[in-house]
Amino acid sequence: MKENIIISNLKGFERKKQIFKSGGSEKIHIVSDFDRTLTKAFVNGRKVRAIITQLYEGNALTQDYRERAQALQEKYYPIEVNPDIPLEKKKKAMEEWWRTHKKLLIKSGLNLKDIQEVVDKGYLEFREGVLEFLDLINKKQIPLVIFSSSGIGEAIPLYFKKINRLYENIHIISNSMNYNEEGNAVSIREPIIHVFNKGEISLKGLPIMKELKDKKNVLLFGDSLGDLQMTEGFDYENIIRIGFLNYEDDEKLEDYKDKYDVVILNDGNMNFINSLLKEVLALNS
């Protein structure tokens, strides 16, 4: 729906779009968040519960997990959202929070079987138009790099497998664990990714970097202002930033309009993005 799309600087957006058109698919790569960006924030009018929430509600974690996780939330979340705390101090605190929480998950009995069971139950839903989007960029071999600070990054490829879309052009950079033969989490897989360091995660040495070297026109998708940092690790020349503001918040809307080239409101679909890609790639609708 058109009323769900806000483009604050239409002239600037059109100028960027023409640059992307000139470069074609060979010059494009996409960087995206996962939760509440490629997926819906609300399903049947209810906020989608995090996979960790679903695990402890399903008794997949020990009884004391919730209380101890809540204590960590109460300690560190005020630091995350306090605008007066310097960024470097926030980064240090977030590293402590994520690392401590992952150790708690290990102690609480995190198991791959339980993660798979949550994925199978299907509480998470991709946005309308995601299947078309994934098919389109796979056909044109446009790399999609997904950064996620989700506490259970192992679930992300499982969700793509569920919809038969775990294509080779999809590269997932997320928090994950090392597991033993019984499927139990036994140690943290480095590096730790949190809301303030997504763009600082080094991809050097990974095969994807060779692919991205000459693809300097970037599409960025996110649902928070922190997601704007995801391109800090990339040597891009042109960028179109598209943000999902999934709930009504007038103050945040002004920030999103200032920072994102396009804002999609009301937990909207991917239709605008798909139309943009078709136009940029000169494809028939």
CA dist list (Å): 194 to 12, 94, 175, 176, 230: 31, 6, 8, 12, 11
Handedness of CA 148, 133, 223, 53 (dihedral sign): negative
Asked whether the beta carbons of 101 and 143 are under 8 A apart, the reply is no
Q: Which amino acid is at 196?
A: F
Say whether 223 is catalytic: no
Residue identified by tokens 């960029």 is: 137
Q: How far apart are CA 37 and CA 270, in angstroms?
A: 10
Query: Quick one: how many helices (H) and strands (E) in the chain?
Result: 10, 11
Question: Considering 33, 114, 227, 261, which one is annotated as catalytic?
Answer: 33
Say whether 33 is catalytic: yes
Could you give the residue numbers annotated as active site? 33, 35
